[in-house]
Homo-oligomer: A and B are copies of this chain.
Amino acid sequence: MTEYDPSSFPRVAVTVDLVVLTIRAEQLSALVVRRGEPPFKGRWALPGGFVRPAEGLDEAAVRELAEEAGLAPGVVHLEQLASYGDPRRDPRMRVVTVAYLALASDLPAPIAGGDAAHAQWRPVDALLVTSGRLAFDHAHILADAVERARSKLEYTAVATAFCTEPFTVAELRRVYEIVWGADLDPRNFHRKVTKTAGFLRPTGETTTRDGGRPAQLYQRGPNAKLNPPMLRG
């Protein structure tokens, strides 16, 4: 292909969209905002916005995360998911969006930024059935994000991003069970996560918040990779 001057070429708008996942009420949930303007007025959509002229993509994602979810960087795991650029995905004009996946723990952030009606946590199961139609191609993006999250739990330690520190092994296990939608054996899970070097860092403290025998409390360990991976049933 020969060279072109970029400024002479048709331009498109570029946005970032966020799939912010957390676990609320024993359900994997995503942050959605209600659209106040057409197109798709009144429908739920993923939070997001235009990338500003002097801003990088990751930078834009971090800014949106703060603006729309009230989440400071560092508290959440944030990674680029994929880009979506079907010519007809926005009826107004050509918009290419770079989707990001964020994993957050529940407690500390009941959504700042906007009013409660504007942004809301909703279970992903409800968002992905056709009746809960999301705006644009956001159902597609959300499905990809959930799939990414599911497989990342297998070979990385990101599951801890869903937990508020300090946490117990049982709480971490619930994360896996909820995201994967399958029960895991508590004893084998305990063996796996405590014997994998660098996954967890014991605090020495214990808690009885779930009843029963006091459980050890842990923080995230230094090892991001899980090798050999955690296996689903």
* Interface-side segment among A11-19, A185-193, A210-218: A11-19
Q: Are B87 and A54 in contact (CB under 8 A)?
A: yes
List the B residue with the shortest CB-CB distance to A79. B82
List, in ascending order, chain B residues with CB within 8 A of A149's CB: none
> CA A6 – CA B13 in complex, angstroms?
6
**Hey, what's the 0/1 contact readout for A55-72 against B, CB within 8 Å counting as 1?**
111000000100110000
**Contact among B55, B56, B92 for A5, CB-based, below 8 A:** B92
> CA A4 – CA B13 in complex, angstroms?
11
List the B residue with the shortest CB-CB distance to A52. B10
> CA A6 – CA B15 in complex, angstroms?
9
**Whole-angstrom distance between the Cβ of A19 and the nearest chain B Cβ:** 15
**Contact among B9, B55, B56 for A50, CB-based, below 8 A:** B9
> CA A214 – CA B3 in complex, angstroms?
49
Asked if A49 meets B1 with Cβ closer than 8 Å, knowing A6-B13, A85-B98, A229-B229, the reply is yes
> CA A8 – CA B83 in complex, angstroms?
22
Q: List 11 A-B contacts (CB under 8 A).
A: A1-B68, A6-B92, A6-B93, A10-B53, A11-B11, A53-B94, A54-B87, A57-B83, A57-B86, A83-B98, A85-B98
